[in-house]
Amino acid sequence: MGDAERPGEFQAVIILLGLLTAHARLLGEVLDTPPRDDSGVLGGRVHRPPTQPWSQFVAGLKPSRTGDS
């Protein structure tokens, strides 16, 4: 799984399995949500460039507040 100095070989698999076991619909949304320019949503993994590193994609999954809520 890796450590702070060196990423593990199976981090992507672990995250995808975690999403799938948490809620099946969540995995579909993470992979296939279309991008939305009006809200800054970059879209799911299939809408990102194939050269984008996995770590950058996962960093973009961090929740953030939008609007007045």
pLDDT at 21: 82
Q: In b/e form, how buried is each residue of 12-43, taking b as 16+ CB within 10 angstroms?
A: eeebeeebeeeeeeebeebeeeeeeeeeeeee
Output 68 or 14, whichever has higher pLDDT: 14
Q: pTM surpassing 0.85? A: no
Give the model confidence (pLDDT) of 10-65 as tens digits.
777 877 787 778 777 778 888 888 988 777 778 888 999 989 888 888 887 777 67
Domain residue ranges of the chain, discontinuous segments joined by +: 11-59
Tell me the C-alpha to C-alpha distance, in Å, between residue 4 and each of 1, 7, 8, 49: 10, 7, 10, 26
